[in-house]
Amino acid sequence: MSEAIRTDAAPAPVGAYPHARRVGNLLFLSGVGPRQPGSNAIPGNVHDADGRLVGYDIEAQCRQVFANVRAVLEASGAAWADLVDVTVFLTDMQRDFATYNRLYAEHFAGIDACRTTVGIDALPTPIAIELKCIAALPAQPR
């Protein structure tokens, strides 16, 4: 069984891809950032009068990206506890790792998902964090 999942509860993809794809009991999530579903606003981003990004709040972005991952999981019939592998992309590792790592620990306590954190130059939208997740659903349907 293979099924693509799309939902209005998470920010719209910025290209030709679904929010997730389920293959058997494995659920592969596309990369998701902290844009707000329905508006594309990015929590904590600060712009100058000309609209240029002059600062951002990594804590607000972390909380929203975790909420967006949860929304995709729930739209797919999965739960936060089903996460087994998480890849995290940060555009400013030096500035943001400690805050992100603290919030990650709060959200993933008891989950024991594997994790990899990668520093990168940029993401397709002006965000500071993106998550790429894999979940394993229980064998029995919920």
Ligand X SMILES: O=C(O)C/C=C/C(=O)C(=O)O
Q: How many helices (H) and strands (E) does the chain have?
A: 2, 8
Minimum distance, C-beta of residue 112 to ligand X, in the bound complex (Å): 25
Supply angle C-alpha 45, 46, 47, rounded to 5: 120
Beta carbon nearer to ligand X, 111 or 123: 123
133 and 86 Cβ atoms separated by less than 8 Å: yes
Beta carbon nearer to ligand X, 29 or 103: 29
Beta carbon nearer to ligand X, 33 or 43: 33
Q: Which two tokens stand for residue 45?
A: 């981003």
DSSP state of 62: H
Calculate the CA 81 to chain-centre distance: 15
Minimum distance, C-beta of residue 32 to ligand X, in the bound complex (Å): 6
Query: Which residue type occupies 100?
Result: Y
Beta carbon nearer to ligand X, 15 or 110: 15
Residues engaged in binding ligand X (CB under 6 A): 11, 14-15, 31-33, 35, 123-125, 127, 130
Minimum distance, C-beta of residue 6 to ligand X, in the bound complex (Å): 14
Minimum distance, C-beta of residue 133 to ligand X, in the bound complex (Å): 12
